[in-house]
């Protein structure tokens, strides 16, 4: 554990205005392609970071008839006979009345821009939603523990230092482009980057694709650093600041600014960052903020409420808010020391709320026992960009020394103070109470087992992801007697400005599989056939979603277009469609050697939020609900896995 006495200096309260004044005089790190003197990069890619960006294919707009047929197909797994009959009438009417016109307008609008047809409406969906970011949007990704234990201040310093190395590599335009390699025997040969970099940007994607490599969209990285979501009346907006060199750090309800970059754009010495982190811990622990001054709670409120309160804060607190908004990112030095998997997930998903600022593009959270995570605001980006940053920073941080003694920083942290009226203090107290009430209404359970491993399932020639998804379906069938609309995230980053698409795991084949496993009279061969069909079909719909042929984004874009014209077709307002688009099981998975776990909140009061992963040694599912017996669902998942594996091994 680092030892630091109170003699380590802190900049006195009120230093924030001078900090902000200096920011205006500093130039952002040059993107000319070279690093600042004396500081290494993560790597130096032979292919410029954005080399493929101007030739990425556009996300295709599916045929109207195809999406409506698929809508009816998925509906067959979750709607009653009466609901299907009503949906059939609505689909038939839409197919000949409003649908063709809206489809033609969507196609015409898409032809005018080199972007994704879903990009703008999807941003608007996020930014117009008035619900709190807490649980509804911000997920967390937990880093693996370090091989050798370190102090909280040391780990925070090393992760922050590595984040700056990532930033430098990105802004120097030498971060390797994101590429999905389907034929690594060709595209990972030494000659490949040399050939790719010589191709003109306008055709480079197609040269890569010809060799079995598919470049991914890199546009989301522009919002990774110096970015924040600003609450507004009716709609929020994203703000990216230029030139900032600092992070904001929270501890004990107080805020500090710590400069990570010097005047030349070089990262400050690691021991200096370490000293700043320890100084903040010591200062906050000796004088934490009063409960009614923990302003971060306000970011957990419904967006219209937070927007109004932020407006009230601005006259007397503009320098502090500007420092937070413009920060490279936010760091939380949490006072909790979580141990179990559910404690860790809760700490990083929401924690006590005292030291969170949910609006920032991402928060780096380090617990008192040196566990660490990224909690990110979701409107600006998805898993691909965040996970790339996550992986690079984790791996780079392991190469840095773990410091045992903190030294006094040359540039001390600047405390950011708040001037709060009695009404604002009352608002903070109320927000804290509502935060606690929301968290208390949730329950979280973990299913950890080696019944499913990626190696075993691949050996049985069964898709690991498909088997996991079918386990969720069978669990719900056994627990509630039916299948429900299920969301699994699929990235469409293979396309220009791609975001996500829905893999609807509840299919007619999944329904037949679950019904067969619930039938005590079903034979082992019947169960095996139903399971194989459901799993292979899940692979089919996954490929379709990844290639931009899912239905949810297409139908949403048509509905959004109609809404902008003042009249929404009856298809989109009927009860069967509303039921189909209300996801009761919401799932997501990411695979990474740096990732210990991840979690997110339920998207509605009936939802089972399931963050899961499967590896060679086993699998884990974290289930969160608003009091819907998360533990029971987790137990049903494991029972489903046992039965499914047993059936497969009997073959």
Active-site positions read 378
* Strand-pair partners of 365: 332, 373
- Which residue has tokens 């606690």? 436
Q: In this structure, are residues 333 and 251 in contact, taking their beta carbons and an 8 Å threshold?
A: yes
Neighbour-count burial of 578, counting CB atoms closer than 10 A to its CB (0-12 exposed, 13-18 middle, 19+ buried): exposed
Residues 244 and 21: their CA atoms lie apart, in Å, by: 11
CA nearest neighbour of 614 among 636, 635, 591: 591
Backbone angles phi, psi at 363, to 5 degrees: -115, 130
Q: What proportions of the chain, in percent to the nearest 5, are helix, strand and coil?
A: 45, 15, 40
DSSP letters of 167-194?
HHHHHTT-SPPPEEES-HHHHTSTHHHH
Distance, in Å, from the CA atom of 633 to the CA atom of 476, rounded to the nearest integer, reads 7
Nearest C-alpha neighbor of 50 from the set 69, 31, 35 = 31
Q: Name the strand (E) or helix (H) holding 254.
A: strand 254-259
Question: Angle, to 10 degrees, between the axis of helix 552-564 and the axis of helix 64-75?
Answer: 110
Q: Is 605 helix (H, G, I), strand (E, B) or coil?
A: coil
Q: How many C-alpha atoms does 433 have within 13 Å on its Cβ side?
A: 7
| Pairwise CA distance, residues 372 & 349, whole Å | 12
> How far is it, in rounded angstroms, from Cα 195 to Cα 536?
37
C-alpha count within 13 angstroms, C-beta hemisphere, residue 388 = 22
CA distance 261 to 28: 10
Dist. CA 124–CA 237, nearest whole Å: 9
End-to-end CA distance of the chain: 55
List of residues 6+ apart from 530 with CB closer than 8 A? 509, 512, 513, 516, 517
Which stretches of 441-523 are DSSP H helices?
A: 454-459, 464-480, 508-518
Token pair, residue 101, equals 């016109």
Say if strands 585-589 and 362-366 run parallel, antiparallel, or are unpaired: unpaired
């Amino acid at each position: 554990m680092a030892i630091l006495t109170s003699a380590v200096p802190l900049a006195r309260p009120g230093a924030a205005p001078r900090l902000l004044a200096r920011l205006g005089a500093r130039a952002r790190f040059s993107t000319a392609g070279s690093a600042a003197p004396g500081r290494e990069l993560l790597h130096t890619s032979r292919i410029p970071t954005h080399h493929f960006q101007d030739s990425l294919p556009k996300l295709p707009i599916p045929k109207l008839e195809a999406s409506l047929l698929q809508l009816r197909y998925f509906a067959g797994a979750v709607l009653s006979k009466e609901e299907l009959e009503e949906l059939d009438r609505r689909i038939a009417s839409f197919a000949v009345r409003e649908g063709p016109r809206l489809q033609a307008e969507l196609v015409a609008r898409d032809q005018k821009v080199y972007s994704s047809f879903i990009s703008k409406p999807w941003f608007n969906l996020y930014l117009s939603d008035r619900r709190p970011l807490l649980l509804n949007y911000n997920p967390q990704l937990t880093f693996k523990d370090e091989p050798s234990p370190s102090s909280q201040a040391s780990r925070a310093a090393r992760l922050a230092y590595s984040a700056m190395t990532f930033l430098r590599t990105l802004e120097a335009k030498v971060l390797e482009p994101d590429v999905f390699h389907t034929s690594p025997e060709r595209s990972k040969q030494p000659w490949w980057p040399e050939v790719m970099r010589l191709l003109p940007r306008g055709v480079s994607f197609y040269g890569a694709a010809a060799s079995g490599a598919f470049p991914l969209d890199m546009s989301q990285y522009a919002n990774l650093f110096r970015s924040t979501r600003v609450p507004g009346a009716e709609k929020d907006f994203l703000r990216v600041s230029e030139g900032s060199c600092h992070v904001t750090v929270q501890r004990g309800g107080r805020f500090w600014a710590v400069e990570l970059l010097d005047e030349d754009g070089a990262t400050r010495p690691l021991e200096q960052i370490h000293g700043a982190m320890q100084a903040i811990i010591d200062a906050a622990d000796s004088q934490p903020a009063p409960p009614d001054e923990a302003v971060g709670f306000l970011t957990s409120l419904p967006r219209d409420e937070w927007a109004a309160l932020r407006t009230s804060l601005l006259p007397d607190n503009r320098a502090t808010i500007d420092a937070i908004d413009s920060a490279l990112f936010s760091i939380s030095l949490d006072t909790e020391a979580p141990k179990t998997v559910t404690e860790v997930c809760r700490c990083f998903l929401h924690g006590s709320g005292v030291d969170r600022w949910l609006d920032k593009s991402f928060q780096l959270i380090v617990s008192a026992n040196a566990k660490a995570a990224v909690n990110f605001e979701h409107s600006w980006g998805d898993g691909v960009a965040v996970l790339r940053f996550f992986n690079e920073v984790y791996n780079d941080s392991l190469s840095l020394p773990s410091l045992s003694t903190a030294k006094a920083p040359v540039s001390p942290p600047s405390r950011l103070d708040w001037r709060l009226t009695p009404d604002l203090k009352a608002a903070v107290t109320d927000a804290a109470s509502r935060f606690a009430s929301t968290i208390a209404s949730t329950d979280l359970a973990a299913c950890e087992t080696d019944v499913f491993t990626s190696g075993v399932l691949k050996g049985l020639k069964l898709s690991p992801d498909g088997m996991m998804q079918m386990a969720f379906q069978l669990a719900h069938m056994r627990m509630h007697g039916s299948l429900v609309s299920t969301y699994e995230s699929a990235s469409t980053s293979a396309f220009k400005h791609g975001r996500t698409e829905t893999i609807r795991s509840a299919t007619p084949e999944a329904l037949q599989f679950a019904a067969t496993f619930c039938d005590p009279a079903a034979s082992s061969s019947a169960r095996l056939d139903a399971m194989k069909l459901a799993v292979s079909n899940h692979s089919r719909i996954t490929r379709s979603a990844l290639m931009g042929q899912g239905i949810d984004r297409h139908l949403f874009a048509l509905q959004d277009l109609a809404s902008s014209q003042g009249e929404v077709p009856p298809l989109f307002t009927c009860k069967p469609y509303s039921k189909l688009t209300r996801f009761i099981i919401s799932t997501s998975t990411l695979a990474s050697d740096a990732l210990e776990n991840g979690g997110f909140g339920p998207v509605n009061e009936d939802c089972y939020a399931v963050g899961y992963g499967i590896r060679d040694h086993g699998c884990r599912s974290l289930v969160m609900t608003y009091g819907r017996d998360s533990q029971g669902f987790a137990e049903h998942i494991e029972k489903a896995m046992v039965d499914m594996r047993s059936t497969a091994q009997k073959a």
